[in-house]
A and B are shown apart, each in its own frame.
Chain A
Amino acid sequence: MMSRSAAAAAILLLTRPFALDGDIGLHDPSTVIQADGKFYVYATGNGLPFSVSDDGWTWRRAGSVMQAVPGGRPGPDVIARGGNNSWAPDIIRVGDKYYMYYSAPGTQPKAAIGLLVGKTLDPTSPNYKWEDAGPVVWSDGVEDSNAIDPGVFRDPANGTMWLTYGSYFGYIRLVELDPKTGKRLYPERKPVNIAINSEASVMIFREGWYYLLVTHGSCCAGANSSYNIRMGRSRKVAGPFVDNMGVDMLQGGGKLFAGSSGRYIGPGHFGLLDLGDGVQKFSCHYEADLDRGGISVLDIRPLLWRDGWPVAGDNLTAGTYEIESARTGTALEMAVQGAPVGGARGRGGRAGGAGRGEGGPPPPIPAQDPAQVSANWPAGPVDVRMAPYMLQAQQKWAITPVANAGGYPGAPYFKITIAGTDRALAATSEAELVVLPAFTGAPEQLWRLDQLADGTYRIMPKAVPNSSDALALSAVGSSMPTLARFRADSDRQRWILKTP
């Protein structure tokens, strides 16, 4: 018997996009980092609590970082420069080391950002421990800076490493780091001011542009929090970072990246999660998830790109969709003989081809229901093909999250069935496709749908029988889908989901 909470979760899955599963209550999350097949995220709280996930969908608490730090708290130099708190960390892997930067505020704006160095993120490893490497930057309580909210960035263009930090007292600042030590490369140099009126800064890079993402608004007031994520971009790592209207972020500029929507209030603390193959996601927390009693929760969502700017995508909503190939423009269908919606009609649209007649426009034609046309559908497995979309029953797919079947970063696995039936899309042991008479929950019937940068989707089975290859739904021809290795440089494995 399904528990009440599981049943409630299942209902939520069916009705809206989801903010992950499991124990996801946290605030000020770090970048979500992958290590040894697991996902880790670190957050504000006593001793820097962290959570781990095996798949990026279901999360569990795993303790606190300071449990593995000698003394169990920030090092003495960090406390001296800032205070004995531990907030809003960020993390990066460089070589065989992990650098964790964390906020150690005293009475703000007196604060410091400390560095911890570790060799593994796995708390069960015998090598698991975090070494205090002291303060990296700090603010003295008088200057126009509040040295909290670190964001660490490795420049893919040249390998340099940078730290942005700051909160509403004054500026967001930038310093260069030494990848060998994680400390400042030029401690004698004055930090560069790059933005104001914001916090939770972090930088990302794409196609020659540096993007500075920050959080505007107020936090920590539940559903009354105005947190929202904004951004500017620059051709140089040190700015100036300018928004879409030409306003410098040093003068308060910032194009909106993500604001409150749906049942979620106050997104903040952007983090890039690059899954490779051109699949990018971002993490954030919401100040209030109205479906979870208004607590602050972690989420992972698709990261899209449009006109040179990142766009916050939404995780897929359960519903009925046309699945259209971006390569061919044809739509996935169960390979049965179709019947025209509303019956055969001739030129002009009248039944029987009578053309325009007297008496005004004819009545609307209802949507085609499988019950109307499925009498001759084979009872057993049916091939899958593609065809011009004509709103026919065998072309409309219900995409429905499956509870308790696991997931992937940001979303649970889905089943894909002919709408109005239980006929389920499945992968075969020959890496082809078939529609089975009924959904059983087998791994080859569970599907992962990652939204790509251009808004199309990569669709992958959880497993292909007798294969360990990660394969994606692929348009090998205008009328033929198959499963093949994903190629980010091709439209073969890109699919457009349209509501019929």
Chain B
Amino acid sequence: MVRISIVLVGSACLFFSAPQQAPPAPAPARGPAPSLVRPMTPTKAPDAAGFLQRWLVLEPIRVVGQLTDSAVQAVVKKEYFSNQFTVIPRDGDRVTVGDESLGWHAIDTVNYNVNLYHFAYALSKPTSNVLFWAVTSVEASSDMSGVRLAIGSNAASVWWLNGQEVIGLYNDRQAVIDDGVSKRLTLKKGPNVIRAAIVNAGGATDFCARFLDRDDTPIKGLVVRLNAGGKDAVDTGSREPR
């Protein structure tokens, strides 16, 4: 996909995209994330293999990059910002973690996976010993039982669906399609919020996610909509000013 100019989000260049506003400030831009683009449509369907390609991703939080079960659980369960387990952020929202202000970015990946290394590198953010939060909202046209959330992540990750923890993957690992798979669960009619915490110790970092039906076939008949924040949010929480 070819975009014709660069939009700056927050303090750094993330995307190739159409110009929408003037750059707010000089940024230590490293160049655009080659696999990520700004969402240009209100909704986005999963790709042909059912992968969810639209996400809100928070700039990385610096953590100790230990990847054992207990270390990852401790890292992701620590509260870094208000309502971190319930908030449905909007593009451009900012939170403060320690003394650092971090922004949420709405992104579409052009691939099956979301390349967090591209994401962080383009923002001149660290890629090692970091924690990424990612959120998306998937709309189902009716209740769907017996489905599974299926993800891959580099490296460890913990995943929640509608507030329930459903997957934990630990130790150093590559993002393999359908590596971590939830037990059978129900997607309810309307929006369903997926929340992920990905911990990377070093090197490449990415994730992928899709839903499988009761026959383990990828589900494509879903709609990803990220404007569910604000008045439509499950829990808007308290936001810091943009």
Contact = CB atoms under 8 A, between A and B. Distances in A.
B181 interface: yes
A337 B70 CA distance: 7
B179 A477 contact: yes
B179 A479 contact: yes
13 contacts: A336-B69, A337-B70, A430-B184, A431-B184, A477-B150, A477-B179, A478-B179, A479-B169, A479-B180, A480-B180, A480-B181, A482-B183, A484-B216
Given A337-B69, A431-B184, A432-B183, A478 B216 contact: no
A433 to B, nearest CB: 10
Interface residues of A, number: 14
A478 B183 contact: no
Given A337-B68, A337-B70, A432-B183, A478 B212 contact: no
Given A337-B70, A484-B216, A477 B181 contact: yes
Given A476-B150, A484-B216, 13 more contacts: A337-B70, A387-B171, A430-B183, A430-B184, A432-B184, A476-B148, A476-B181, A479-B169, A479-B179, A479-B180, A479-B181, A482-B183, A492-B216
Nearest to B146: A431
Interface string B136-165: 000000000000101000000000000000
B210 to A, nearest CB: 11
Given A432-B183, A484-B216, A476 B68 contact: no
B216 to A, nearest CB: 6
A176 B148 CA distance: 54
Residue with the greatest number of chain B CB neighbours at <10 A, chosen from A431, A432, A476: A476
Nearest to A485: B215
B93 interface: no
Contacts, number: 38
B47 interface: no
Contacts of A476: 148, 150, 178, 181, 212, 216
A429 to B, nearest CB: 12
Interface of A: 336-337, 387, 430-432, 476-480, 482, 484, 492
B176 interface: yes
A352 B68 CA distance: 18
Interface string B182-208: 111000000000000000000000000
A81 B68 CA distance: 79
Interface residues of B, number: 18
Interface of B: 68-70, 148, 150, 169-171, 176, 178-184, 212, 216
Contacts of A432: 183-184
Contacts of B216: 476, 484, 492
Contacts of B170: 337
A476 B184 CA distance: 11
Residue with the greatest number of chain B CB neighbours at <10 A, chosen from A336, A432, A479, A482: A479
A477 B179 CA distance: 5
Nearest to B180: A479
A355 B169 CA distance: 30
B94 to A, nearest CB: 34
A487 to B, nearest CB: 9
A56 to B, nearest CB: 30
Given A337-B70, A484-B216, A492-B216, A478 B184 contact: no
Nearest to A330: B179
Contacts of A431: 184
Contacts of B181: 476-477, 479-480, 482
Contacts of B182: 480
B128 to A, nearest CB: 19
A158 B183 CA distance: 45
Contacts of A479: 169, 179-181
A18 to B, nearest CB: 35
Residue with the greatest number of chain A CB neighbours at <10 A, chosen from B148, B212, B216: B216
A318 to B, nearest CB: 31
A480 B149 CA distance: 11
A492 B217 CA distance: 13
A336 B171 CA distance: 12
A492 B148 CA distance: 16
A387 B70 CA distance: 16
Nearest to B73: A337
A477 B183 contact: no
Nearest to B179: A478
Given A431-B184, A432-B183, A432-B184, A478 B69 contact: no
A431 to B, nearest CB: 7
Contacts of B150: 476-477
Contacts of B184: 430-432, 482
